[in-house]
């Protein structure tokens, strides 16, 4: 991962030795590299520069206010999916931030809030929602800018729980009927249909689905224009994949190559909603080993991060590389492919490693960060790093088992600062304490 590297068998984030962070802030701890965040945003901006894109960082990937502020400072707008995310963007972003609002279930309150707070456009997901946005806008005496979200009906391309462009999912308007739906709002007093939106799914490691999606989008844009809609924007959503195992991710330029031909022909301005691509490889989840244990032929490393801190492994079977922060002299400094289940020889080049599960303190057998992973022996007090944890890590964290959520730290060169303090018991019960009779 860029900006995380081992020096003399100690993991560094930028120029800070990671053990220093554990000592100062405790564990479990999310550790972000500012340089990595800015580098990935810049990579997208550069790859698509020709399109003068409106990059709307997807707040759902990681809504930390300091990260949103950093995104805004470097020229990003925001993609939001709830009033809460909208308020994060308003709180952290510059005043003129462009905010796009997607999601299948926007409430009237949320629609009104967005209209009153300068939403750039709504990504509309159903015919009923479209007419409802028109109604709310009419009620306020304003016109809502909308992009119709199409489900482009592409072959499966990622995990079934996060593929959003196969037939039958709840997202977007069906490609077969979207033109009729657009027809129904030509000349509507409360609506301006100014764009077409799609979000194919997440994470996507191939560029080809974007080519197919953009081509289908182009054909629709032509039809909307023929109806009289002034289509200015093509929003291709997010979904660009990252490195979880090794170097499987494509650079942003590969996605640009796939999208640009259809975009050029459309004459539209491009909107993108990358989340994971920007924040995913910018962070580790740092934890400390509590105990080790062997039972029934299995070996467990019990450490202080759990499924409530990082739910992706148990929810999607996701792979996060895990490695000691201070690997011993007789193990590789960094694993080649650290137990990839698809690797026919997972122990190749992994001397002194054996199969272990990395588990947390939560009371479920499904509480694991890694299963059957070749790892070196661990001892109480060792630090472990779970890599590629910046996206949908803290964002999906919970208080299950009444565990307080982890702290988050941002590293900049040789300096570091808290961007979210560790929760306290008072935080944990805040919404209940007043109700206690």
CA separation for the pair 301, 293 (Å, rounded): 7
For ligand LLP, give the closer residue by CB, 311 or 378. Answer: 311
Mutual angle of helices 252-266 and 34-47, in 10-degree steps = 40
Hey, what are 46's tokens? 């550069």
Least distance between ligand LLP and beta carbon 278 (Å): 8
Least distance between ligand LLP and beta carbon 25 (Å): 24
Residue ranges in contact with ligand LLP by CB under 6 A: 58, 60-61, 79, 102, 162, 199, 202-203, 237-240, 273-277, 312, 316, 391-392
**Active site (annotated) includes residue 363:** yes
Hey, what are 375's tokens? 């790892």
**Spatial CA neighbour of 258 closest among 206, 219, 218, 195:** 206
For ligand LLP, give the closer residue by CB, 164 or 412. Answer: 164
Hey, what are 381's tokens? 């007090």
Question: String of b and e for 164-177 (b: at least 16 CB within 10 Å)?
Answer: bbbeeeebbbbbee
Least distance between ligand LLP and beta carbon 235 (Å): 9
Whether the CB-CB separation of 300 and 370 falls below 8 Å is answered with no
For ligand LLP, give the closer residue by CB, 216 or 276. Answer: 276
Q: Identify the bridge partners of residue 295 per DSSP, sorted by sequence position.
A: 298
- The conformation of residue 81, written as its DSSP 8-state character, comes to S
CA separation for the pair 97, 103 (Å, rounded): 19
Catalytic choice (13, 363, 431, 435): 363
For ligand LLP, give the closer residue by CB, 205 or 429. Answer: 205
Whether the CB-CB separation of 353 and 331 falls below 8 Å is answered with yes
For ligand LLP, give the closer residue by CB, 360 or 393. Answer: 393
Whether the CB-CB separation of 163 and 156 falls below 8 Å is answered with yes
Biggest alpha carbon–alpha carbon distance for the chain? 72
Neighbour count for residue 118 (Cβ, 10 Å):
12
Give me the residue label for tokens 């057998």: 365
For ligand LLP, give the closer residue by CB, 374 or 393. Answer: 393
Return the active site residues: 363
């Amino acid at each position: 991962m860029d900006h995380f590297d081992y020096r003399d068998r100690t993991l560094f984030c930028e120029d800070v030795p990671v053990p220093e962070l554990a000592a100062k802030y405790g564990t479990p701890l999310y550790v972000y590299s500012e340089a990595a965040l800015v580098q990935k945003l810049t990579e997208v901006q550069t790859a698509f520069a020709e399109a003068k894109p409106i990059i709307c960082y997807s707040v759902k990937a990681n809504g930390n206010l300091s990260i949103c502020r950093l995104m805004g400072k470097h020229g990003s707008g925001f993609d939001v999916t709830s009033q809460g995310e909208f308020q994060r963007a308003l709180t952290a972003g510059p005043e003129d931030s462009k905010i796009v609002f997607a999601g299948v279930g926007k409430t009237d309150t949320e629609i009104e809030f967005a209209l009153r707070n300068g939403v750039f456009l709504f990504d509309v997901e159903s015919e009923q929602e479209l007419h409802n946005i028109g109604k709310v806008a009419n009620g306020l005496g304003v016109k809502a800018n909308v992009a119709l979200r199409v489900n482009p009906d592409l072959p499966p391309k990622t995990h079934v729980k996060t593929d959003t462009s196969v037939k039958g999912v709840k997202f977007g308007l069906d490609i077969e009927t979207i033109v009729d739906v657009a027809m129904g709002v030509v000349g509507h007093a409360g609506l301006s249909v100014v764009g077409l939106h799609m979000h194919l799914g997440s994470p996507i490691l191939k560029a080809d689905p974007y080519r197919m999606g953009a081509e289908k989008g182009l054909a629709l844009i032509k039809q909307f224009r023929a109806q009289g809609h002034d289509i200015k924007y093509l929003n291709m959503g997010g979904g660009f994949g990252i490195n979880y195992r090794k170097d499987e991710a494509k650079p942003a330029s590969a996605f640009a190559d796939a999208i640009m031909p259809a975009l050029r022909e459309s004459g539209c301005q491009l909107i993108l909603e990358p989340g994971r691509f920007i924040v995913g490889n910018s962070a580790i989840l740092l934890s400390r080993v509590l105990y080790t244990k062997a039972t029934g032929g299995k070996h467990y490393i019990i450490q202080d991060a759990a499924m409530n801190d990082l739910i992706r492994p148990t929810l999607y079977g996701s792979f996060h590389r895990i490695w000691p922060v201070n690997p011993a002299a007789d193990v590789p400094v960094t694993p080649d492919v650290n137990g990839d289940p698809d690797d026919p020889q997972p122990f190749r080049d992994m001397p002194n490693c054996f199969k272990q599960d990395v588990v947390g303190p939560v009371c479920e057998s499904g509480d694991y960060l890694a299963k059957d992973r070749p790892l070196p022996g661990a001892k109480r007090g060792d630090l472990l790093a779970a890599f590629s944890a910046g996206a949908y890590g803290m964002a999906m964290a919970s208080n299950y088992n009444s565990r307080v959520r982890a702290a988050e730290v941002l590293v900049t060169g040789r300096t570091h600062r808290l961007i979210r303090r560790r929760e306290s018991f008072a935080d944990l019960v805040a919404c209940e304490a007043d109700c206690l009779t």
